[in-house]
Structure 1
Amino acid sequence: MKEWVTMNERYRTFILLAQYRSFTETAKHMFCSQPTVSQHIQQLEKELGCQLISRKKRQIELTTQGEIVLAYAQKMQEMEQQLRLAVKQTQQENIKLYISHYIADSFFNELFDKNNTTYQQYPYEINSFCYEDLKSSLVENHAKFAVMPIYNADTIVHQSFDIDILFEEEFVLVMAADHPLASRKIIYARDLKNLSMLLPQSPYLGQHIKEALHKKAVPVYYIQMTNFEIIKKAVQQGMGVSFLPYKSIEDSLDKLTFKYVKGLSIKRKNGIVFNRNQILNEQEQAFCERIKKNLKMVSVR
């Protein structure tokens, strides 16, 4: 390796000497002594077995062999620059984002605002998953961090990872526009008695909603569905009511109605879960800091 570096320096010396046609000027640009320049040229001539330069009337000229070596030396220098660039590009890993379906869909503008130059400068990929898949990605070390809901009941996440809470949001009671409760100004927990309550498939969120209703001693009929989008369609068809985050229905208020239930509060925290076994690079850290700033300023009902 040492010999390769030495050869590289000699070729660089020769390229500069061919440019300035002066040992003195070449030494100035290399920040070395004139004898060092002469030594580099002599060593290069010895290794190649030919004369590279000649002196005529105090003027340095390249020999025919020197012209050939110069052309190859310049190509070698260009290839070295290309090599360094290629290596540098491979070191810039993609910013791999693991985000819950809900956050990616409802807070896309906050995640990828136009002022965030991080994702504009570096390659990135978005992986949108449900809660359990995000958790598995962290546990299996596929994800360095994940933007996802936070549930106090999930002890594995709290014990195994570092968590930075971004925001907390309250779930609202969602119903069809023609539902009997839609015209009520005030709704109490007892008004939900014996209604069909549509729950998302997420076990932690489903349990979270059940516990809140259980504390109020409200008997309802639970119907499990895949996700928020399916639940919204079912609510529109009059199949039941549901507690959903306001952001998930914001674009459907022409078809749905939401209400707050007096004395009943269902809230969920969302944050960044960091894998302790993974180290974030500079670009990933910058991205996380940016979305922390954006999402912590989010005003949710």
Structure 2
Amino acid sequence: MIDKLEYFIALAQERHFGRAAERLGVTQPTLSAGIRQLEERLGVTLVNRGSRFQGITPEGERVLAWARRIVEDVRTMHDEIRALKLGISGHLRIAVIPTALAVVSRLTTPFFERHPGVTLEIVSQTSSEIIKGIEDFEIDLGITYLDDERLGRIDKQMLYDERYCLVTTRGNPFADNETVSWSEAASIPLCLLSNTMQNRKILNGLLGSSGTRFETVLESNSMIALIAHVRTGRFATIMPYRSAEILGLGEPMRAIRIVDPDAAYRIGLVAARRDPRPPLVAAFWSEAADAKLDR
């Protein structure tokens, strides 16, 4: 039964019988037969079929939600038994908003040193993608903005406050300042994260609050791409001050705190609300609480 549920989950994710079969390491006829056996067992049609995959039925969507939960619970049971015998080990999937990617190393490095049997996978995702990934059990943990009403059904833990700085290069406006205001930052052409990012929505509000119309000359979903453009000497960007510190931006770059107002947004760790938590998730959650990133 569990293997049939895994077939169905893979098909829902890939939305293609051939790709799902390849991902699972089975033949396409084996996958198709397994889905049909699951449908017969449950007495409902799960998949709309024609010459190819045509989507999940409404009944299939409900089964899919249960399938994800059941499969994840079975995996958690195996992980807990293995942890009792061998200690913490396994693979931990963490999704992180782009502006926190530099900071996550402050959590993962000490965790890996304490648990060398663990492998880590870190992916960059938007806040919306992180919430969906947590709810669908496609990721184990997320690091995202906590001031989000969509987190109501998800466990969350405060890590630190995100504050901002103008990143520019020597010779450009405000490069010799100790601080700048949001209106000053809005007065120069900027390269910023894409409008799909929560960080960009925050910056749009802060830059626009002064009444100064700001201009975006370049957008990207990658902070690395923005920093690389700033390093050319022709651009400026806005990024979290903590990330700038960790990355150690050197000459000719400057990181200048933005004040007036001194805006701060809470960044935290999120996980599916489960009891008990998977051993890996529980261990990371506990160590993150002791990391004191807010200092």
Please report the TM-score for the alignment, with normalisation by the length of structure 1: 0.59
Amino acid at match of 1:165: M
Instruction: Return the match for 1:211 from 198, 202, 205.
Output: 205
Residue aligning to 2:125: 130
1:155 aligns with 2:149: yes
Amino acid at match of 1:161: I
Q: Deviations over 1:60-99 (max 9, x none)?
A: xxxxxxxxxxxxxxxxxxxxxxxxxxx9649977242313
Residue aligning to 2:235: 240
| Counterparts of residues 134-213 of structure 1 (less than 5 Å) | 134-146=130-142, 148-152=143-147, 154-156=148-150, 158-185=151-178, 187-201=180-194, 202-213=196-207
- What SS does the corresponding residue of 2:227 show, helix, strand or coil? helix
Tell which deviates more after alignment, 210-219 or 270-279: 270-279
1:98 aligns with 2:91: no
Q: Percent identity?
A: 11
Tell which deviates more after alignment, 207-216 or 87-96: 87-96
Tell which deviates more after alignment, 168-177 or 189-198: 189-198
- What SS does the corresponding residue of 1:112 show, helix, strand or coil? helix
1:224 aligns with 2:219: yes
Instruction: Return the match for 1:108 from 95, 105, 108.
Output: 105
Residues 262 and 200 (structure 1), Cα distance of their counterparts in 2 relative to 1, 3 Å cut: same
Residues 115 and 200 (structure 1), Cα distance of their counterparts in 2 relative to 1, 3 Å cut: closer
- What SS does the corresponding residue of 1:254 show, helix, strand or coil? coil
Residue aligning to 1:19: none
Structure with higher Rg: it is: 1
Residue aligning to 2:48: none
Residues 191 and 234 (structure 1), Cα distance of their counterparts in 2 relative to 1, 3 Å cut: same
Q: Deviations over 1:21-54 (max 9, x none)?
A: xxxxxxxxxxxxxxxxxxxxxxxxxxxxxxxxxx
Tell which deviates more after alignment, 209-218 or 101-110: 101-110
Judge conservation of contact 1:228–1:248 (CA < 8 Å) in 2: no
Residues 247 and 142 (structure 1), Cα distance of their counterparts in 2 relative to 1, 3 Å cut: same
Judge conservation of contact 2:159–2:266 (CA < 8 Å) in 1: yes
Identify unmatched segments of 5+ residues in structure 1: 1-86
Please report the TM-score for the alignment, with normalisation by the length of structure 2: 0.60
- What SS does the corresponding residue of 1:289 show, helix, strand or coil? helix
Instruction: Return the match for 1:275 from 272, 276, 280.
Output: 272
Residue aligning to 2:244: 249
Judge conservation of contact 2:185–2:207 (CA < 8 Å) in 1: no
Judge conservation of contact 1:99–1:129 (CA < 8 Å) in 2: yes
Judge conservation of contact 1:149–1:268 (CA < 8 Å) in 2: no
| Counterparts of residues 80-99 of structure 1 (less than 5 Å) | 89=82, 94-99=90-95
Residues 226 and 281 (structure 1), Cα distance of their counterparts in 2 relative to 1, 3 Å cut: closer
- CA drift of 1:140 comes to 1.5
- What SS does the corresponding residue of 1:163 show, helix, strand or coil? strand
- CA drift of 1:283 comes to 4.1
Amino acid at match of 2:108: L
Q: Deviations over 1:1-34 (max 9, x none)?
A: xxxxxxxxxxxxxxxxxxxxxxxxxxxxxxxxxx
Distance 2:119 2:289 in 1: 18
Measured on the aligned residues, the alpha-carbon RMSD in Å equals: 2.9
- Structure with greater proportional helix content: 1
Identify unmatched segments of 5+ residues in structure 2: 1-79
Judge conservation of contact 2:99–2:240 (CA < 8 Å) in 1: no
Residues 124 and 190 (structure 1), Cα distance of their counterparts in 2 relative to 1, 3 Å cut: closer
Q: Deviations over 1:264-298 (max 9, x none)?
A: 3232322111212574133431221112211x245
- CA drift of 1:114 comes to 7.1
Judge conservation of contact 2:83–2:279 (CA < 8 Å) in 1: no
Amino acid at match of 1:287: F
Distance 1:235 1:242 in 2: 7
- What SS does the corresponding residue of 2:131 show, helix, strand or coil? helix
- What SS does the corresponding residue of 2:224 show, helix, strand or coil? helix
Tell which deviates more after alignment, 254-263 or 228-237: 254-263
Amino acid at match of 2:288: I
